[in-house]
Structure 1
Amino acid sequence: MTGHLGIAPTRSLGQSIDRPRALTRRFGNAAGSRAYDLFVPSGYEGAPLPLVVMLHGCSQSSRDFAIGTGMDRLAEEQGFLVAYPDQPRSANIAKSWNWFRDKDQNRDEGEPSILAGLTREIMSEFNVDPARVYVAGLSSGGAAAAVMAMTYPDIYAAVGIHSGLASGSAGSMSVAFSTMRRGASLRPQQATHPVPTIVFHGDRDTTVSPVNGDQAIAQAQPDGELNITTVEGRSDGGMAYTRTILTEPDGMWSSEQWVLHGGGHAWAGGHPAGSHTDPIGPDASREMLRFFMTHAKDGGAY
């Protein structure tokens, strides 16, 4: 088998010592290579399963992100595969995905090509339901997930963006810092093929301004009239939130925006053993899974 850009992918098939259901692997192509963990639920016997690709935030690792989000537990409970790509310091000293560099925001280039390539590799080696492949991330990982939705809408049926930014919000590191503080100076490009999107963002996030969550959900919206429903709620831990549900009149597309009142730059409802988590928030992992599993691709390609 060859990599997406024509050279043989490299990979490891070992098991993680402390997560026996997680395989340690590596994918490479002409743009570079990334290690990743792949969690396989114990009930896997070859039947088609959904796949969720999880992109960690700055300073995190794939293992840390798995622990903090609790996505392995949900995968075991609900029966799906989870991939956790790992950004090395050799690619970014802070282990941030390079969502702000031009070459890492285009189809068949840079990090998007690597992430799409490892997604396709998993789909080819396991019995993945091609209509139920999803991508989600936190902070820089959320911004990278938005990039994947823009560049590979033919692969991903839905996207989750937690404390992230819209695709195309910046074109350099200096602009990235400004965008994180104040949002993109120009409205990010509207998606040509809008992918259903669920956004979580704390309204007291001082690392990535909440306006970026507004811009991310706006980018994902199709043209035309939308039905809008707003629900006020409170998590079991006591955090208030506003959930806005956007739906096309024909029901073909929907998205959700969760504004976490008092929330900072952290994965809502996450486990405190992981970094950048807020255990009192609503369970972002479970809500993303609920949203994902209501969306499947129709089999069309762009």
Structure 2
Amino acid sequence: MLNLSPSVEVFLNRLFWLAAPSRDTAIPNGNASPPPAAPGEGLAASPTVHGEYAVFVPSGASKKRRPMVVMLHGAGQDLDDFATGTTMNDAAEHHGFVVLYPGQSKQASAYRCWNWFDPAHQHRSHGEPARIAALTEHVAAQHGVDRERIYVAGLSAGGAMACLLGELFPEIYAAVGVHSGLASFAANDLSSGLASMRGTVRPPSVPSEIPTIVFHGDKDTIVNPINGIQVIEAAFGIDYPFRVDERVGGDGRRVTRRRYFHRASKLVRGEHWTLHGASHAWSGGSATGSFADPAGPNASEEMLRFFKAQRLPRGGKCSIDLPSKSAKLGAVAAPIDVP
């Protein structure tokens, strides 16, 4: 086995998340009706899988339409692995959320990486964002989801794609969750994608004003922690009012949280969690999944807690046409008590 220097190993790790050909792969026919997931199925294990995506439905009857979170895995992960590592199904059962797990295939990317850095996949009208949005509409209709309470979250490459979806489709997604990811339009090719992951400063842009919650470890060697700050700046700019609080969790991890407040309403519109000593892994997850850190805070619980306070204006709904038959897709611990 070759002995590589730490700098070479870090470069190869970063390259793993990006260096894969971009191709299209089929998703289920949007006009078809696959069997619905059984309530509570896959609670602590695997979600119910239908073709290129998976759906978790919480147990118990509900008189109201449920909220839904779309969860986008990182490179090198599949649906089962991501659901297991994040324990999002446990949090969704607790908070009453439907969970949609779109899956990137090896045909679209050798490492199942969403093509967030490719201009062909940075548009409303085509590419992976358009197709994930159409899948969101299909599953929301199938499961009677509340159209004012649909959210999107992801890890690493999935977090970068979640940012794109939130900015490109603000009429669909009421808020965005990003764990160890990158801001929208942080890159326009493989080279700039790698540079962004290393910490290249993103040019300023008009803030999207999309409610956003971010988690990032300050020892992340795959995606530089500056990217977490840049996600917040892309959403709110550099002078949005915020408050800072710190806490040490029961597992000894120190956390710094910034809460961003809307000037007029004083409501919390964003949160940025710095996980001190943490690497490139989902906080509060299960060690049985990849890129997951059992040490808290529980990012899944905290994201759903944040999402529950955000919703689209009344009447907001997706107006995207469902994909045709030939359409293709490119592809619980207690939360830390911070006042």
- Asked if Structure 1 and Structure 2 have the same fold, meaning a TM-score greater than 0.5 normalized by the shorter chain, the answer is yes
Q: Show the counterpart of 1:65.
A: 82
Q: Deviations over 1:200-253 (max 9, x none)?
A: 011110000011111111001169x63311001122211111100111122266
Corresponding residue pairs, total: 284
2:113 paired with 1:96: yes
1:232 has 2:251 as partner: no
Q: Compare 250-259 and 84-93 and name the one that shifted more.
A: 250-259
SS of equivalent to 1:220: helix
Partners of 2:263 and 2:31 lie apart in 1 by: 43
Structure 1 residues 239-292: Cα deviation after superposition (integer angstroms, max 9, x where no partner): 111100111122266100001111110001111111101111311111111100
Deviation at residue 183 of structure 1 after TM alignment = 2.9
Query: Does structure 1 conserve the Cα–Cα contact (< 8 Å) formed by 2:282 and 2:293?
Result: yes
Matched AA of 2:203:
R
Deviation (angstroms), 1:11: 6.2
1:37-88 CA-partner distances (Å, limit 9, x unpaired): 1001111456300000000001011111111111111222221100111111
- 1:189 deviation in Å? 3.1
Corresponding residue for 2:186? 169
Aligned equivalent of 2:212 = 197
Aligned-partner residue type, residue 254 of structure 1: R
Give 1:15 deviation, angstroms: 5.8
Q: Deviations over 1:177-211 (max 9, x none)?
A: 11101234x415334x4210001011110000011
Matched, 1:209 2:231: no
Q: Does the CA contact (< 8 Å) of 1:241 and 1:259 recur in 2?
A: yes
Match of 2:257 among 223, 243, 254: 243
Q: Does 1:275 align with 2:275?
A: no
Does structure 1 retain, via aligned residues, the 8 Å contact 2:37–2:55? Answer: no
Unmatched runs of 5 consecutive residues or more in structure 2 = 1-28, 318-339
| Amino acid in structure 1 at the alignment position of 2:42 | R
Letter in 1 for 2:123: N
In 2: Cα distance, 1:14 partner to 1:51 partner: 15
Q: Does 1:260 align with 2:262?
A: no
> Could you say what secondary structure the match of 2:220 adopts?
coil
| Structure ranking higher in strand proportion | 1
**Greater displacement, 213-222 / 201-210:** 213-222
Alpha-carbon distance in 2 for matches of 1:188, 1:97: 24
Contact 2:42 2:89 in 1 (8 A): no
- CA 19–11 in structure 1, closer or farther in 2 if over 3 Å, else same: same
Inter-partner Cα distance in structure 1 for 2:210 and 2:179:
16
Kindly report the root-mean-square deviation, in angstroms, between the aligned alpha carbons of the 2 structures: 2.2
Does 2:55 correspond to 1:38? yes
Equivalences for residues 7-46 of structure 1 within 5 A: 9=31, 12-13=34-35, 19=42, 22-26=47-51, 35-45=52-62
In 2, Cα distance between equivalents of 1:222 and 1:213: 13
What TM-score, normalized by structure 1, do the two folds share? 0.88
State the secondary structure of the residue aligned to 2:147: strand
Distance 2:35 2:154 in 1: 24
In structure 1, runs of 5+ residues without a counterpart are: 1-6, 27-34
Matched, 1:118 2:135: yes
Quick one: structure 1 residues 222 and 49, their matched pair in 2 at CA, closer, same or farther if it must change by over 3 Å?
farther
* TM-score, structure 2 normalization: 0.78
Q: Match for 1:229: what amino acid?
A: R
Matched, 1:218 2:233: yes
1:74-103: CA deviation from partner (whole Å, max 9, x where unpaired): 222221100111111111111111000001
